[in-house]
Structure 1
C-alpha cells in the first residue's frame, strides 16, 4: 500500500491533520497492509501513527537530515509477517549520501528502503518508497534513472522488489518508463493485475471527496517474480471529506519463497 497522507499544515484549515488523523489511521487499520509506504510524513504525524499502529516497525528518515527533520517517506512493516534485516534512506540527487537538492527539483527528495525476510518461509523482499518532485521534470527523469541503477546494483539474488510512492507523474512519462525495464524486472501492478483494478483511474484528489477526474500519480511497481492479483485505488470519504489529498493505492501480491509454491500476502 502506498499513501501520501499530506503533511500537517495549518494552511489546510478544516483539512489539516488534526481533523483527519483518525480517518487516515482508520483506513490503515481496516486494510492492515503487510507493507505500507507513506509520503509527506512530518515528525508529529509519525508519532501519531506509531502510537496506534503498534504492530508495525517503521523505517526511513526525514529528507532534511536523514533522521527526524523534515518530511519523511517511511515504510511501515507488519512485524508479524516480516523481519527487517537492513534499511536506509538516500537522496535523489547527484550526492545521494548527504542531504541535497537534485537537479531542477523544488525540494529535497528521498527514497527509503528496507530489506525483509518473511518469517514463515524466509521469502525475501526489497521494498523501496519514494516521493518525486512535483515541479522538476529533469529531477523526475534523473530520479527514475537513479532508482533503476540503484535497484540493479543492490538487489540480491532470489530477492523480489517492490517500489512504491508518490511519483508526481503518470506511467506514460519517460521518467517512469525508465524503471519498467528488463534490467529492473519491474511491472506496473495496475497493468499486471490478474483481477484488474478497482476504483477511479486517478489517485490525486485535492481533498475533493468525489472528484470527477484527476491523475494517477501514486504507483506500486513489483518485480516479475511476484504475481499481481488485484490493484485498488481506495476512493473513500466520510462526512463529505477525503482523508488526504491523495487516495491510498493498494496491490494484492503473491510473494513466493525460492523453490516453494506461491503464498498470498
Structure 2
C-alpha cells in the first residue's frame, strides 16, 4: 500500500482532466474549502424537508460561500443526486467512484471549480482490509462500504499542484480507528511532495482515538483559524458545540505552512418550518499556504 503504483491502481474511469500545459495561470489567491454531508435523498425522513426542496437550500449554501473545492458525503446514485447538486453548484466538475461493471458510488465525492483547477490524477480506495477491492468492507461488523476519493490537482492560481480528498468514515466502531491509519499511509506520498487538503465526515470527535491518529499527521483548519465561528440566520442564536465536531478540514504537506483566515459552521435554517438542510452542518474555511 506504500507505493504510488498501488495508489494509482484504483483510478476512476472518468479520465485524467486537462493538459496542464493548456491551462491559463492565474494570480495566487486563498483557497475556499467546504466539507458537507448532505443527507441523501432517501435519508431525511419527516424531520427534514423533501430532497427537492433541500436542493434549493444547498444552492443557497454554495452561493453564499462559493467554495473552490467541496468534499461531499452521503450521496447515492439514486434520484440524480450528483447531477442535481452540480446544478446547485454551477461551474464545478465532479469526481466520485465510477468504474465499469460497478454501480456508481458517490458516498464520498469531490466538486472542484473548473475555472481554477485541472485534474491531473484521480482515484479511490476503500476503508477496509482490502482497500483496492471496490465496495469492500471489514473494519467493523456491520459496516457500509466506505471510501476515499482523491485527486491530484493543478491549481491555476499560482500554477501549483495540490492533493485533495473527500471521505466518509463509517460510524460503527472500530471502523474509524482502523480507517485513520490507512488514510495517513495512503496520503503520505502526496504529503511529501505537495500541499494536502483532506476533508470529510470522519465520524470522529476531537476527543476520539481516530481523531488523535489523524492529528498526528494533519492539522485541522479549525485550530488554524483565529476566530472559528458560525454562519446563522436564527433568532435566538443557536448553540453550537465545537467539541462535538465530526466533519473536518485537515491540511498537511512537507515544507508547507498553512494558515486559515476563517472557519465557519453553517447553521442556516430554511423553509416555513425553519429546518436544517441536513443532519450535518456545512463546514467552510478559507486557507492559504506558503
Q: Structure 2 unaligned runs (5+)?
A: 1-33, 232-236
SS of residue paired to 1:231: strand
Match of 1:231 in 2: 263
Tell me the TM-score normalized by structure 1: 0.83
Match of 2:246 in 1: 217
Match of 1:261 in 2: none
**Cα distance in 1 between the residues matched to 2:101 and 2:164:** 18
Whether contact under 8 Å (1:7, 1:71) holds in the other structure is: no
Shift of 1:210: 4.6
1:80 matches 2:111:
no
Match of 1:171 in 2: 206
1:131 to 168, 178, 203: 168
1:2 matches 2:35:
yes
**Cα distance in 1 between the residues matched to 2:114 and 2:240:** 38
More relative contact order in 1 or in 2 (CA 8 Å, sep 6+)? 2
Aligned residues: 241
**Cα distance in 2 between the residues matched to 1:173 and 1:66:** 37
Tell me the TM-score normalized by structure 2: 0.76
Shift of 1:31: 1.1
**Cα distance in 1 between the residues matched to 2:101 and 2:59:** 24
1:47 matches 2:80:
no
Q: 1:10 to 1:122 in 2, by over 3 A?
A: closer
Whether contact under 8 Å (1:35, 1:78) holds in the other structure is: yes
Whether contact under 8 Å (1:24, 1:244) holds in the other structure is: no
2:288 to 232, 254, 258: 254
1:191 matches 2:223:
yes
